[in-house]
Structure 1
């Protein structure tokens, strides 16, 4: 619903909502550990029973959204009167827009799949090292902070410097984080690695989603973003399963290497993206 010059900033504001979950998660884990003693159940099981209580406000807030963001996107001129007559609502959409969109989908899918794979295996690795649930929860919290705490400045940077450099920087940070997770054995360095993976995901996925929005008209934007999300979450479901077999057969270092290899091809594709200015592309 934002104009092109503020589109990534708008997307980043949505992502920042996840910060609440990052702040609440250690508190939920601590509460679950106390309640587990009272009810005689596993702290992990109790924590999952507490999660639905945190989802209820999301339903209420979603129901209160007025007007529908799609209607704003269809009538940008009414909500952003400073835009030129005719508005640039579709200015970035052209015949060659499918190529940038395909590149963005590749980058987003790789970043999402790599991030979920590393997080699933990192928690297991920390548990095997004897870390407490609170330390594991803290590590995950720092990872989530990397994903969402900097969404707003990353979004502003994406709108000013361009989608391409932010996506490339995100892929680089994700690769560095994967190396720290896979090839180091200290809690602090592994946690730093998970933070960098989250921060890299923030840049890559923010940029990828914005490119998809740039290259689609309002009437088809929801479907296009849905394609990105389906493939990305599909990768996030499949890769952790494959990583489990990889860790069992080879070792934890293998997912660090896999986390880097997954990003090479998308990085090459993004490097070839012809972005003439933020949000505008050549075929």
Structure 2
């Protein structure tokens, strides 16, 4: 890992956030790899099979604003601990939905899991807040590497526990997901961070002024493109694999390769950003995502799916890591919570739309059509980065 966090208190906080990220980020692989399969069993229409995964994404978007309010009122540690209890309840509700054969109850469980994920997503900001600019990439790296451990843990939960309850396929994996969220509760109790700046409107620039900054718009456009297209393909991928004759275990392993791709590059991404800057790394990430879509278009063998999903994850890491560090440079500490909430709400709102539409597109036009959508989106985001650089330079000269 490039760089170190030297303060003992900072080291402890990074260790806590690393462990909490490992436990919290284990949930999405369970939901993504099994949500569509449960949908196939219980959804009233084939076009609705990805609704459970979409409900999860909608939950992430819906949770961002309430999360910011709780952070403002309670602070990070109590808010994150509440989030872990929400995650536990999500797993239990989803399992009950499967046991009862109630599709809507299962979707409610995945939606609540999304609320928990909004809290987990905020760990990256907790790691960077109060960190000197030259250390932000290293702090973010600590948290994202926790996602690498989750990339192994989540799919293994799926494989080991999906048949743990006789006669109720998949329910055991969701119970295990809830248990992982519960384990995060005592871990987060050890978190000691400075108080979150109050969103009382008396400090910092107006949100509209920050949102007009070229750097904010570049960061947001890149985040939206990378996260929405990653989720778009990831939502449809496991279902497409099963439709093409592969087993649920092979689909789960495909998601494992995908999530490994999302987080394994974190060992070097921070160093790349320090060496080359945020924009080149973001553009590289978007190009790798395009290469993943091309792999998906080139065939429907198992390796086509796995390579596509893996490259999709690697590209997301570079693009999203760069966008997140760029976002941190757009605001002062007292402006952080409102800027972060605006960013995540906007991003996950678009991600939710893409997640909902991916199932319908897969049902209507097949897996190649899903891959085709990625290419123009990442191309447009690349143009935004290139064109926005000029405006960002002018803005910097005028300040």
Coarse TM-score class (shorter-chain normalised) = 0.7 to 0.9
- CA 1:96/1:185 → structure 2, altered by over 3 Å: closer, same or farther? closer
Structure 1 residue 180 displacement after superposition: 1.3
Give deviations 1:190-246, integer Å, cap 9, x for gaps: 211111111111111111111110111011122212222222222222112212222
Decide which of 140, 147, 168 is 1:18's aligned counterpart.
147
Is 1:230 paired with 2:357? no
Q: Map 1:95-106 onto structure 2 (within 5 A).
A: 98-106=213-221
C-alpha contact 1:25 1:137 (8 A) present in aligned 2: no
**Structure 1 counterpart of 2:168:** 41
Give deviations 1:26-62, integer Å, cap 9, x for gaps: 32123224413xx2111x2221121010112323222
Distance 1:229 1:96 in 2: 13
**Structure 2 counterpart of 1:30:** 159
User: Structure 1, unaligned stretches of length 5 or more?
Assistant: 72-93
Pairs aligned (count)? 256
- CA 1:183/1:171 → structure 2, altered by over 3 Å: closer, same or farther? same
Structure 1 residue 162 displacement after superposition: 0.3
**Structure 2 counterpart of 1:61:** 187
Structure 1 residue 9 displacement after superposition: 2.2
Distance 2:136 2:196 in 1: 13
Is 1:197 paired with 2:312? yes
Give deviations 1:80-123, integer Å, cap 9, x for gaps: xxxxxxxxxxxxxx999811111110110111110001001111
State which drifts further: 117-126 or 50-59.
50-59
- CA 1:224/1:10 → structure 2, altered by over 3 Å: closer, same or farther? same
Distance 2:167 2:211 in 1: 61
Q: TM-score, normalised by structure 2?
A: 0.60
- CA 1:165/1:281 → structure 2, altered by over 3 Å: closer, same or farther? farther
C-alpha contact 2:258 2:309 (8 A) present in aligned 1: yes
- CA 1:95/1:55 → structure 2, altered by over 3 Å: closer, same or farther? closer
C-alpha contact 1:22 1:141 (8 A) present in aligned 2: yes
- CA 1:27/1:219 → structure 2, altered by over 3 Å: closer, same or farther? same
C-alpha contact 1:168 1:267 (8 A) present in aligned 2: yes
SS at match of 1:57: helix
Distance 2:257 2:397 in 1: 38
C-alpha contact 1:7 1:159 (8 A) present in aligned 2: no
C-alpha root-mean-square deviation of aligned residues, in Å?
Answer: 2.5
Distance 1:51 1:158 in 2: 33
Structure 1 residue 252 displacement after superposition: 1.3
Q: TM-score, normalised by structure 1?
A: 0.83
SS at match of 1:272: helix
Query: Which structure is higher in RCO with an 8 Å CA cutoff and minimum separation 6?
Result: 1
Q: Map 1:1-283 onto structure 2 (within 5 A).
A: 1-36=130-165, 39-42=166-169, 44-68=170-194, 98-274=213-389
